[in-house]
Copies of this chain bind each other. A is one copy, B any other.
Amino acid sequence: MYPNWILQRAYLTPLRSALTYEGQTWTFQELNELSMKRARQLTALGIKQKDRIAIMGPSTTGLVVMIYACMHLQCEMVMLNRRLSRSEIAYQLEDSEAVTVLVADEDAEKIPTNTLSYHLFSTVENSFEQVVDIAKEWTLTQTTSIMYTSGTTGFPKGVRQTVGNHQASATASVLNLGLQADDTWLCAVPLFHISGFSILVRSLLYGNKVQLYENFDADAIAQNIIEGAATYMSVVAVTLERILHALEQRNALASPQFKMLLAGGGPVPKDYLTRASALNLAVAQTYGMTETSSQTATLASEDAMQKIGSAGKPLFFNQIKISEPNAQGEGEICIRGPHVTPGYIGRFAQKSSTIEGWLHTGDIGYMDEDGYLFVVDRRADLIISGGENIYPAEIENVLLAHSAVQEAGVCGMDHPQWGQVPIAFVVLKEQISIELLHAFCQLKLAKYKVPKEIIVIDELPRNGANKLLRRKLVELLPSDI
């Protein structure tokens, strides 16, 4: 048995700062009291302990308190990505069988119209309270959060992250990065992604403060880094570049107080690392995913320049191996450790997440002679756009659902701002305008997944077994887009 993180942290260091948002700061004691109250309000609204509930909202104190309230109730939280389309959300609500949705007032319109039960944050916050016996202890195997991620099939799977997964991730990270009581993590990544959610977990376990930003604001963040108000921050390549640009514009260096940018969600261009170095900004590249409850491997800052492109070595409790390596040592990256998800919910509940304890990521990589991991190719032709994962099959499935479309193939195209953007190729069975197809995609897909271009061709590249060769699509990209 392990202690309820929120109660334990509020007991151990009640007066330490836990959260700063829009100039206001809350201590761990205050966040605990607010979230205990919110848990009683949720109880009054009929939510029971261990219920599976969905949550959606922007990154504000209100969302943090709602998440902590659900933790107090040991609810399994389906973290809804607010960028998703209504039909994508409908899929996740249906698949997860969440008993209700807790939704921030401003996101209310994103809830599918046929949703049976939902509560606005304001409804919860104004509800009366009902006494509930908050569990002081949690078990390692109980599910804390559920996040949907797609794969080769294009059907999003709900990935469980347990108390044990989150604890293992946070403790392994601290053995790599170190810890001081006054460390502060700047959070401008979504709380519904593991990158943001894991910042909350680390805050509770470490007793560190989170500086929360509702949106990524390059100027405010650059100022923060110059002043050394925070010590750590999680970024993706796109946001890293914006921070570098903002610092360069001001001709200012990062504060010596600032310790590290943790760069995940895909490769970081070498040029960014050089620019960061010139700005006195340490960057640690990491490799991780929803199924590994955030970081699996991290490249130490001191190795950043001599191991450019590497994702580093595994965190202490984790193991990485290359399965069936070819002559160059390249093969599928497999991961093992207490941070790896025990599996899925919904229609994939019976599917095992591991084979003999190893998570097969689908990513291709190798280990160099010093044991540093290099990721060569992303799983399932994964497109990473602004740190968001896009699975081609998911977009293809949408296009194929349209009556005019015979065949569809999607690939990523390099993009100066987003890293990559999705491009779709279609073979039509009847005439239709590209605009109509676009509108159809917008209805079904999150904005960042909607193809930047839809290109009509006569035939898709396929191999002898008639399997779509997505990498061949890249060669068909017109040079003028």
State the A residues within 8 Å of B (CB). Answer: 1-3, 8-9, 11-12, 136-137, 167, 171, 174-175, 178-181, 205-207, 313-314, 316-319, 336-338, 357, 371
Q: Apart from A2-B317, A2-B337, A3-B319, what are 6 other A-B pairs with CB-CB below 8 Å?
A: A3-B316, A3-B318, A11-B371, A174-B174, A175-B206, A178-B181
Which of A171, A316, A371 is packed against the most chain B CB atoms within 10 Å? A316
| Contact across chains for A178 and B175 when beta carbons are under 8 A apart | no
| Contact across chains for A8 and B316 when beta carbons are under 8 A apart | yes
Q: Which residues from chain B contact A171 at a C-beta distance below 8 Å?
A: 171, 174-175
Nearest chain B CB to A133's CB is how many angstroms away?
Answer: 17
A99 to B181, CA, bound (A): 46
The verdict on A316 contacting B357 (CB below 8 Å), with A175-B174, A178-B179, A179-B175 known, is no
Nearest chain B CB to A8's CB is how many angstroms away?
Answer: 6
Q: Which residues from chain B contact A11 at a C-beta distance below 8 Å?
A: 313, 371
- A selection of 28 A-B contacts at a CB cut-off of 8 Å is A1-B336, A1-B357, A2-B317, A2-B337, A2-B338, A3-B316, A3-B317, A3-B318, A3-B319, A9-B316, A11-B313, A11-B371, A12-B313, A12-B316, A136-B319, A167-B317, A171-B171, A171-B174, A174-B175, A174-B179, A175-B179, A175-B205, A178-B178, A178-B179, A178-B180, A178-B181, A180-B180, A205-B316
Q: Which residues from chain B contact A316 at a C-beta distance below 8 Å?
A: 3, 8-9, 12, 205
A9 to B1, CA, bound (A): 28
Nearest chain B CB to A307's CB is how many angstroms away?
Answer: 14
A179 to B208, CA, bound (A): 13
Q: Which residues from chain B contact A318 at a C-beta distance below 8 Å?
A: 3
Nearest chain B CB to A353's CB is how many angstroms away?
Answer: 15
A180 to B260, CA, bound (A): 14
| Contact across chains for A175 and B207 when beta carbons are under 8 A apart | yes
Nearest chain B CB to A163's CB is how many angstroms away?
Answer: 11
A147 to B338, CA, bound (A): 28
Q: Which residues from chain B contact A12 at a C-beta distance below 8 Å?
A: 313-314, 316
Nearest neighbor of A171 in chain B, beta-carbon distance? B171
A314 to B11, CA, bound (A): 10
Q: Which residues from chain B contact A167 at a C-beta distance below 8 Å?
A: 317
A314 to B137, CA, bound (A): 14
Q: Which residues from chain B contact A206 at a C-beta distance below 8 Å?
A: 175
Q: Which residues from chain B contact A317 at a C-beta distance below 8 Å?
A: 2-3, 167
Q: Which residues from chain B contact A178 at a C-beta distance below 8 Å?
A: 178-181
Nearest chain B CB to A295's CB is how many angstroms away?
Answer: 14
Nearest chain B CB to A203's CB is how many angstroms away?
Answer: 12
A8 to B319, CA, bound (A): 9
Nearest neighbor of A204 in chain B, beta-carbon distance? B316
A338 to B313, CA, bound (A): 27
Q: Which residues from chain B contact A314 at a C-beta distance below 8 Å?
A: 12
By Cβ-Cβ distance, the 9 closest A-B pairs, closest first, are A171-B171, A178-B179, A178-B180, A179-B179, A12-B313, A11-B371, A3-B319, A2-B317, A174-B174
A167 to B167, CA, bound (A): 12
A416 to B181, CA, bound (A): 37
A26 to B406, CA, bound (A): 67
A371 to B3, CA, bound (A): 15
Nearest chain B CB to A149's CB is how many angstroms away?
Answer: 24
Nearest neighbor of A319 in chain B, beta-carbon distance? B3
Nearest neighbor of A370 in chain B, beta-carbon distance? B14
Nearest chain B CB to A395's CB is how many angstroms away?
Answer: 38
Q: Which residues from chain B contact A3 at a C-beta distance below 8 Å?
A: 316-319
Nearest chain B CB to A109's CB is how many angstroms away?
Answer: 41
A290 to B451, CA, bound (A): 62
Q: Which residues from chain B contact A336 at a C-beta distance below 8 Å?
A: 1
Q: Which residues from chain B contact A9 at a C-beta distance below 8 Å?
A: 316
Nearest neighbor of A314 in chain B, beta-carbon distance? B12
Q: Which residues from chain B contact A337 at a C-beta distance below 8 Å?
A: 2
Nearest chain B CB to A310's CB is how many angstroms away?
Answer: 14
Nearest chain B CB to A14's CB is how many angstroms away?
Answer: 9
Nearest chain B CB to A196's CB is how many angstroms away?
Answer: 21
Q: Which residues from chain B contact A136 at a C-beta distance below 8 Å?
A: 319
